[in-house]
Amino acid sequence: MTESLSADVLVALEILVLEYVEEHSLKILGTCPPWFTQLYPNTPLSLDASWIATHSPFLYNFLVDAADFWDQDQPGLYKSGLWCETDPQNQDLHLEASALKINRKRILLIKASLSDYTELLSFIQTARESSLDFIEERKQASESILRTTFYDALTGLPNQTYFLIQLAHGFERYRHKDNYHFAILIINIDRFQSINDSFGRLAGDQLLISIAWRLKKRLRESDIFARLSGDEFIILLDSIEEISSPLFAANQISTEFTHPFSLNGQELFITASMGISTTLMEYDRAEDLLRDANTAVSYAKTLGRSNYIVFDQTMHARAVRLLQLENDLKRALQEQELTLLYQPIVCLADQRIIGFEALVRWIHPTFGLISPLEFIPIAEEMGLMMAIDQWILKESCFRIQQWRKFTDEPLSISVNFSAKLFDKFDLALQIKQVLRETGISPQYLMIEITESIVFSQVKAAVNTLHQLKDLGVRLCIDDFGTGYASLKYLQQLPVDTLKIDRSFIKMMDPNNLDLVRSIILLAHDLGMNVTAEGIETSAQRQYLLDLGCQEAQGHLFSHPVDGQVALQLLQAKSIL
């Protein structure tokens, strides 16, 4: 078959052998393995580039890199790649390819397995044992050890170990060579876990390989491109003169992500967040440069998808503060540092207090009042949000039950639920237990769910809301108008109240009332009440009254206040 490969061994191992004949053609050597004929019946013995591109795009992409490898004068080395195909019996075949250069021949070996990926090196070694001499085997073993140590098995890119060595070398040049600077750029694929959850880990691996091949073409030969771990890649941009160089590279990489990736026959658009640090800021240690690039990519991800950020010193201060808040939040829940403020909800006609919205705050012993916009995302990431939501529910229900003794109004308490608590299958049972413990009647509890939570998981939302409605509690969609509500699904929800987001109230003037009017009319047509939030002026109050809005809350009536002040406002009968 070839001068250095045993045909008997290859046939026994069911390895497909292809010889690269010319730029656009591969020739099948020997007998085709059964798995290959199942994948591609009636395959010609000579495969041109168009046939490969049509039947196996991943193999075609691998061949692009293999051709570059074959053009290099490095006998004994190899290039490997992995991907997955599905045969007519709907079996997933995990394919592993290796490009070899044996004497003057350019050979491609492909092995298939029904199980998970196995190490391709073992197949190659077995195939070569019968033909390579002892010295060549020793050489191959050494190369294998080096490759395992310094290269990523999936993508073939340098790994973290290799990158850290090159970072150390680059930092030494920076310290001892005048006017030499470099940059680090970390790339993190946005929401990659959802891709694994939706398509499976093997498809996720295919995507990572495609990303690696695509981005590599955007870089210079002097740049170091490595895979750190999981869905994170890193680049050392060599010899930069100013900050525009890494920014240009980040923009080029972002451009690559504007084109779709092919995954299991589907076009998939993905994005990436990037963090940049450079020696232009002057560093004493290489590890600090890496730390700051990590900080920058973390900050970029908080801004949403597809952002790239250059590190600055304010990010370090923010990261130190974030770490301290993470360490302190669990203790805060145990030590009762969390507190509730209450904002009155009033009847617009006469400004009587008809309810309160419970709002959580954190009084930190060092930093003072921490905004929920800062600590709620931390709590969600740490898995503390459910415990906080349950504490808010019980505390606010207990408080409103006490206050009901001081008014003849049908006083209610509104409690915001996070997505974490809303997802719990036993949510209705938990609320029923709290109602029993606090003695509050269910009609005096208003549960507020944001529009984005409801309409991002419609079926689950409909079921859960109906369970809550069966308990007798009232339901409200908060921040209405800021998400993507569907009228079709809105009609299915057992919702009592729509709360108009403050951003629409702020824009109201005599010439800009149509949107708020439409929301109010929609709610009334569906038999729902309307509450407007963020009322700050008497003019806004009058506009809403004229439009038929019944209830409101905002600084015109009262800021969020503690329990003692809330009770005083309640005893005053109305807010004038």
**The two structure tokens encoding residue 284:** 């004493």
**What integer pLDDT is reported at residue 474 of this predicted model?**
94
Note the pLDDT of residue 234.
93
The verdict on residue 316 lying in a domain is: no
What confidence score (pLDDT) does residue 531 get? 94
Do 284 and 416 have their domain in common?
no
Q: Are residues 135 and 204 in the same domain?
A: no
Examine the domain organization and report whether 27 and 110 are in the same domain. Answer: yes
CA-CA distance, 565 to 568, in Å (whole number)? 5
**What is the identity of the amino acid at 342?**
Y
Q: How far lies 311's CA from each of 103, 306, 412, in Å?
A: 50, 16, 47
User: Which one, of 337, 336, 341, 338, lies nearest residue 563 by Cα?
Assistant: 341
How far is it, in rounded angstroms, from Cα 66 to Cα 23? Answer: 11
Please report the sign of the dihedral spanned by the C-alpha atoms of residue 87, residue 93, residue 98, residue 104: negative
Are residues 101 and 207 part of one domain?
no
Contact between residue 183 and residue 220 where contact means Cβ atoms under 8 Å apart: no
CATH of the domain at 92: 3.30.450
**453 in any annotated domain:** yes
Give the domain CATH number at 454: 3.20.20.450
Q: Please, are residues 551 and 558 in contact by the beta-carbon 8 Å criterion?
A: no
Q: How much is the pLDDT for 353? A: 92
In this structure, the answer to whether residues 440 and 545 fall within a common structural domain is: yes
Backbone angles phi, psi at 415, to 5 degrees: -125, 130
Which pLDDT score, from 0 to 100, does residue 12 have? 59
How many other C-beta atoms lie within 10 A of the C-beta of residue 264? 14
What length does the chain have? 576
Residue 302 and residue 228 share a domain? yes
Q: How far is Cα of residue 514 from the mean position of the Cα atoms in its chain?
A: 36
Interacting residues of 73 by C-beta distance below 8 A, sequence separation 6+:
none
pLDDT of residue 360: 92
Gap between the Cα atoms of 131 and 6, Å rounded: 7
Tell me, what CATH number does 183's domain have? 3.30.70.270
pLDDT at 135 (0 to 100): 41
Order of strands across the sheet that contains 105-113: 46-48, 25-29, 16-22, 105-113, 92-102, 78-86
249 falls within a domain:
yes
Asked if 212 contacts 233 with a C-beta cutoff of 8 angstroms, the reply is: yes
Least Cα distance to 205 among 58, 350, 69, 312 occurs for 58
Of 129, 150, 171, which residue is a domain's last?
Answer: 150
Domain termination site, one of 291, 311, 331: 311
Is 465 within a domain?
A: yes
Its domain, for residue 253, covers 160-311
Indicate the SS3 state at residue 349.
Answer: coil
Burial group, residue 401, by CB count within 10 angstroms (0-12, 13-18, 19+)? middle
Flag whether 126 is in a domain. yes
Domain boundary among 259, 292, 311: 311
Task: State whether 37 and 172 are in the same domain.
Answer: no
Same domain, 462 and 561: yes
pLDDT averaged per 10 residues in sequence order, the chain, 576 residues? 48 76 78 83 82 81 79 65 76 80 78 60 46 47 59 86 87 88 92 83 87 87 88 92 86 89 82 90 86 88 84 74 80 85 93 93 86 83 83 93 86 85 75 92 91 64 84 89 62 87 86 86 91 93 92 94 92 71
- CA-only gyration radius of the chain, Å: 32
Residue 169 and residue 220 share a domain: yes
Q: From the centroid of its chain, how far is CA 195?
A: 9
Q: Cα–Cα distances in Å, from 508 out to 186, 348, 420, 502, 556?
A: 44, 16, 34, 10, 15
* CA proximity to 415, closest of 433, 453, 388, 384: 388
Instruction: With CA atoms as reference, report the closest residue to 108 among 11, 24, 27, 34.
Output: 27
> 399 and 361 share a domain?
yes
pLDDT in the model for residue 194? 82
- The answer on 291 and 381 residing in a single domain is no
Same domain, 117 and 77: yes
The count of structural domains within the chain is: 3
115 in a domain, yes or no?
yes
The answer as to whether 537 is a domain residue is yes
Say which residue the tokens 């039947």 belong to.
55
- Quickly list H helices, 472-513: 487-490, 502-506
Q: Is 576 part of any domain?
A: no
